Amino acid sequence: MYLTWSTLHLGICYLIPVDILFSSWFFYLLRKACEVVGYAQGWRELGWDAKGFPYTRAQSAGAWAVLFFLLVWAERKRLKMAFDAALSFGPLDTSREDDSGECASYRVAGRVLILGTAFLIWWSVQSGMSLGIAIAFYAFFWILNVTMTRVYAQVGPPFLELFYLDPQKTLTTVFGTIGQQPGPLTQFSLMYWINRDHRGQLMGHQLAAMKIGQESGVSLRKLGPWLLVAFFVGATTCLLTYLHWVYRVGEDQFASGGWREAASGLAVSRVREWVYAPKGPQTTEIGFMGIGAGLAWLLSKINFAFPGTPFHPIGYALAVCFAVEYNWPAFFLMWLVKGLMLRYGGLKLYIQFVPAALGVTLGGFVVPVLWSFISWAMGWYA
């Protein structure tokens, strides 16, 4: 269990709703207590990411799947309107489908989404994946990315890391590996670089750019192409830079060992287990996926029926996916501070301290960068 925080964590957590702050640290500590019980009873293997009770990975998959379906259901009319526009070829009813304030028209955005996903599936099949695995992989990919974008916009946690939502482990848990050929399984595992912990999620940052443009009066139609330019430049630069250094220095040396080196090897090593010790669907873990999904759904109903309840499904989902692993003390402290502030000082007092929270957050960004430059200039680095 980590007991860490920084000013960056504290400043951002000040802006998170109280019910999500409480749910995040509460369910995190409850999860840790269940892990202790699992160790004590012999229901859990040793290790920080061990298999066994309370099957955190399984709960995480169920919880995030429910968040996705709740989101889609809430926006079903708008989504239907967007896909109708994408799949139609005649003139659109602009009075019903006004998308002038968006970065792109519903027709263009929908067609790019459909064609882009189809291309990714085709490319994966050509590279060695089976069609079924490719469809399941990208379905899971979109479920997580759409939901993460919503959570990023609604909550904005300091870290949105979904390490416990590894699609490869989740899908092989549900469907098993018996009967699968080594080639498709190998390519499936090699996609691990995309989604080990989902830290490279882009849609939330693009949405933030759109919000900044909207608040500053910039036309989103003009901003949209620049977001695409930024994506292509950033992605190309990062990939080429990474390739340059891993080939020049060596992957194991460049990664400095530790989990980074282990992560690169895991994409290959676990194929051995899938091929030489294949397993069928893991019914116990599938059951805990159902428990995670049911608990997230129940919390959403309670939160809707009883406004002001301290339990929120997003807090539970964050607690079981590694998103509060490093910074749960900041969630607890800001829940306590913000709760007392709202109770005894009201909304006015809370708003008065928002600039201070933003300043603390800015300091959390700027000071480490300054120390890096100072260390480099003074030769204080190894």
Residue 340 in any domain: the answer is: yes
Q: DSSP letter at 15?
A: T
| Judgement on whether residues 298 and 381 belong to the same structural domain of the protein | no
Rg (the chain; Cα; Å): 23
| Judgement on whether residues 272 and 319 belong to the same structural domain of the protein | yes
| Judgement on whether residues 108 and 165 belong to the same structural domain of the protein | yes
| Judgement on whether residues 88 and 211 belong to the same structural domain of the protein | yes
The CA-based dihedral angle spanning residues 227, 228, 230, 232, taken in that order and rounded to the nearest 10 degrees = 160
Residue 68 in any domain: the answer is: yes
Exposed/middle/buried for 168, CB within 10 Å: 0-12, 13-18, 19+?
buried
| Judgement on whether residues 289 and 203 belong to the same structural domain of the protein | yes
Residue 370 in any domain: the answer is: yes
Q: How far apart are CA 334 and CA 330, in angstroms?
A: 6
Q: How far apart are CA 331 and CA 21, in angstroms?
A: 5
Write down the pLDDT at residue 250. 67
Q: How far apart are CA 163 and CA 31, in angstroms?
A: 15
| Judgement on whether residues 147 and 259 belong to the same structural domain of the protein | yes
What amino acid occupies position 290? G
260 phi/psi in degrees, rounded to 5? -65, -45
Could you tell me the sign of the dihedral formed by the alpha carbons of 188, 192, 197, 198, in that order? negative
Residue 106 in any domain: the answer is: yes
| Judgement on whether residues 267 and 369 belong to the same structural domain of the protein | no
Residue 15 in any domain: the answer is: yes
| Judgement on whether residues 121 and 259 belong to the same structural domain of the protein | yes
Query: 20: which 2 tokens?
Result: 């999500």
Half-sphere exposure of 199 (CA within 13 A, CB side): 7
pLDDT in tens, 82-120: 888 888 887 766 556 677 778 888 888 889 999 999 999
Query: 219: which 2 tokens?
Result: 């036309």
Q: How far apart are CA 58 and CA 138, in angstroms?
A: 19
Task: Tell me the CA distances in angstroms from 325 to 4, 49, 331, 375, one per residue in order.
Answer: 9, 12, 11, 29
Exposed/middle/buried for 249, CB within 10 Å: 0-12, 13-18, 19+?
exposed
| Judgement on whether residues 336 and 322 belong to the same structural domain of the protein | no
Q: DSSP letter at 181?
A: -
| Judgement on whether residues 191 and 259 belong to the same structural domain of the protein | yes
Last residue of a domain, one of 284, 309, 326: 326
Residue 50 in any domain: the answer is: no
Residue 271 in any domain: the answer is: yes
Write down the pLDDT at residue 192. 84
Domains: count for the chain = 2
Q: How far apart are CA 360 and CA 369, in angstroms?
A: 15
Q: Which domain holds residue 109?
A: 55-222+254-326
**What HEC string does 296-332 produce?**
HHHHHHHHHHCCCCCCCHHHHHHHCCCCCCCCHHHHH
Query: 238: which 2 tokens?
Result: 């990062």
Cα–chain center distance at 30: 21
Task: Tell me the CA distances in angstroms from 39 to 44, 53, 57, 163, 280, one per residue in order.
Answer: 5, 8, 16, 21, 25
pLDDT tens string, the chain, 382 residues long: the values are 777 778 888 999 999 999 999 999 999 999 999 999 999 999 998 877 788 999 999 999 999 999 999 999 998 988 888 888 888 887 766 556 677 778 888 888 889 999 999 999 999 999 989 999 999 999 998 999 999 999 988 888 887 888 888 888 899 999 999 888 888 998 898 888 788 778 778 888 888 888 888 888 888 888 888 998 998 999 899 889 878 877 776 665 555 545 555 566 777 788 888 988 899 999 999 999 999 999 999 999 999 999 889 999 999 999 998 889 888 999 999 999 999 999 999 999 999 999 999 999 999 889 888 888 888 888 876 5
pLDDT in tens, 111-140: 999 999 999 999 999 998 999 999 999 999
Residue 49 in any domain: the answer is: no
Buried b or exposed e, range 100-139, using 16+ CB within 10 angstroms = eeebbbbbebbbeeeeeeeeebeebbeebbbeebbebbbe
Inter-residue long-range contacts of 252-260, CB under 8 Å, 24+ positions, other chains counted: none
CA nearest to 315, candidates 157, 201, 169, 135: 157
| Judgement on whether residues 211 and 344 belong to the same structural domain of the protein | no
| Judgement on whether residues 337 and 214 belong to the same structural domain of the protein | no
Strand partners, 44: 52
Cis peptide before 54 (omega within 30 of 0): yes
Write down the pLDDT at residue 73. 93
Measured in Å, how far apart are the chain's first and last C-alpha atoms?
28
* Neighbour count for residue 277 (Cβ, 10 Å): 8
